[in-house]
Amino acid sequence: MISVSEFCPRCQSLQTVEVTVSQREEVDADGNRRTIVTKSYHCVGCGSTLRSEDFEFVEEVGDSEAGEIGQQATEGETRIDEKHD
């Protein structure tokens, strides 16, 4: 297990961070499937969200190599945004 520490503005100190990952799928108007993976970083001390990052994986209609998200990660990975609370 990897331990990560970041400054928590609520605790006003360096705290251990817990990372959660969530995933959702969307289909755009052209029929392409988009998988959005969100990594959220939470302070273990107070539970507040320190930041979150969204990553987008696109599977185009008719793509012969489409399938597993892991296959799309190297070519189709796009960082959407980073949110700070």
pLDDT tens digits, one per residue of 9-58: 999 999 999 999 999 999 888 888 999 999 999 999 999 999 999 999 88
pTM of the model: 0.62
| Beta pairing, strands 13-27 & 77-84 | unpaired
pLDDT in the model for residue 62: 65
Domain edges within the chain? 4-84
